[in-house]
A and B are shown apart, each in its own frame.
Chain A
Amino acid sequence: MPSVDRPSLSLLTAFGRQFRRHGQALMASLTDVANPLLFFFMVVTLFPLGLGPDPQQLASMAPGILWVVALLASLMVSARMFASDFEDGSLEQMALASHPLSVLALGEVAAHWLATGCLLAVVSPLFAMMLGLPSQGLGVLVLSLLLGTLCLTLIGAVGSALTVSIRRGGLLLSLLIIPLNVPVLIFGTAAVTEAVMGRDPSTWLTLMGALAAGMLALAPLAMGAALRISLDS
């Protein structure tokens, strides 16, 4: 018996409201935003201590180090992506909305990505300089991290949606999504390495762009279905 009595919100407004709600919640508790950055900073400072201060060696390993740490930082935050919404009942309400759950969830994920992955990509040149990454690689590093963290966040969101109702689902989540993250890691590291060598990284960046576009189209559907399963248990 479907019927609507009053004009409801347009899909875009509903998306915007979810984006705003989640963004404001993130901004208010800065730990969720600061944690991945702090983690990134700490790990990057530890590598020179462990590997020795040889600048040449550090510079050659920098693309791989930066990308692995970015992947781990993203893994760390994706476990909590839908957790608070599940606990406080917001997810139930999203599922009852007359708008598709996938679009509302995507609004949240967009806010989440801006506050974590996108921010990480923007400040990554600072960390790269700490490792002595040659300056010709910095631009490609930022670009590859922007595309890459978008993929990682979307993959993490699907995993988080599947495991949100499981107590201590963190390990299961890691097992589920690390294999899916591997291509992103390979493409990202390759792009930065090519740029550092002075070669054209566009092949790798194009592949990452394609991956991000595909994820953006498919991940919301998977998220919506996974969230409904998680709510129904």
Chain B
Amino acid sequence: MVLLSAAEVSIERGERRLLQGVGLAVASGQVWQVLGANGVGKSSLLRALAGLARFGVEGSISRFEPLLYLAHAPAIKCALSPLENLRCHPACDVTSTPAQIALALEAVQLGGYEHQPVGSLSAGQQRRVALARLLLTGARLWLLDEPFTALDGAGCDWLEECIRGHVSTGGAVIFTSHQPSRFSELQQDLDLANYAVS
């Protein structure tokens, strides 16, 4: 089942055309890694695929909604606890009970921090709060922008497992990363160097 399809997508930023002719069809069970040098337009493409950017985006994109989009900005309020942050998440897709959220926080090694303000946690821990949402959402299509940043080795392994689990139950993931490929047999690559406008 195709969860996202895009054809002939071109992206302009300001006066400059970044990408041209991008096409992809993401089916359930697939992991797509978007590759490319800094500034080539990976994040812009992800925003366009999520439906957040419309101006300067041409081509047809259809997506299975609701989707989950995780950006560089974690959408976490420093004054709130991890528990409250997830319970009252602005995407309004967390229907879990506080006990289920506490379990998800435990899974990302944040057990015992549930009620501390997020501002007092480290950058990596804050990232984990944002990632704990992966365990709580009902979305089938995940768009993750640099999900491995600020995570330690164990955190990266956990995220890899989490993504593998998600696609094995019929989900699909598109992510950007400069890390070497982690999902050898499942993974498709989208190298934006092929679509860059020079």
Tell me the A residues contacting B by CB distance below 8 Å.
1-9, 14, 17-18, 20-21, 24-25, 28-29, 84-85, 87-99, 104, 231-233
Q: Which residues of A contact B84 (CB under 8 A)?
A: 20-21, 24
Query: Whose C-beta in chain A lies nearest to the C-beta of B63?
Result: A1
Stretch at the interface among B15-23, B32-40, B52-60, B152-160: B52-60
Q: Is the interface of B mostly helix, strand, loop or mixed?
A: loop
Most buried by B among A7, A91, A92: A92
Q: Which residues of B contact A14 (CB under 8 A)?
A: 92
Chain B, interface size: which category?
35 or more
In this assembly, does B87 line the interface, its C-beta being within 8 Å of a C-beta of chain A?
yes
Bound Cα distance from A4 to B87, whole angstroms: 19
Within B74-93, the residues touching A (CB, 8 Å) are 74-77, 79-80, 84-85, 87-93
Establish whether residues A94 and B91, one from each chain, have CB atoms under 8 Å apart when the complex forms: yes
Establish whether residues A1 and B77, one from each chain, have CB atoms under 8 Å apart when the complex forms: no
Q: Which residues of A contact B75 (CB under 8 A)?
A: 88-90, 92-93
CB within 8 Å for A89 and B80 given contacts A28-B117, A94-B91:
no
Establish whether residues B73 and A88, one from each chain, have CB atoms under 8 Å apart when the complex forms: yes
Bound Cα distance from A94 to B51, whole angstroms: 12
In this assembly, does B67 line the interface, its C-beta being within 8 Å of a C-beta of chain A?
yes
Establish whether residues A17 and B88, one from each chain, have CB atoms under 8 Å apart when the complex forms: yes
Bound Cα distance from A5 to B64, whole angstroms: 11
Establish whether residues B71 and A98, one from each chain, have CB atoms under 8 Å apart when the complex forms: no
Query: Whose C-beta in chain A lies nearest to the C-beta of B81?
Result: A24
For this complex, 6 residue pairs linking A to B, each with C-beta atoms less than 8 Å apart, are A21-B90, A24-B84, A25-B80, A84-B77, A93-B91, A232-B52
Q: Which residues of A contact B79 (CB under 8 A)?
A: 24-25, 28-29
Establish whether residues B71 and A92, one from each chain, have CB atoms under 8 Å apart when the complex forms: yes
CB within 8 Å for A20 and B69 given contacts A28-B80, A89-B75, A95-B52:
no
CB within 8 Å for A93 and B90 given contacts A7-B95, A98-B66, A233-B55:
yes
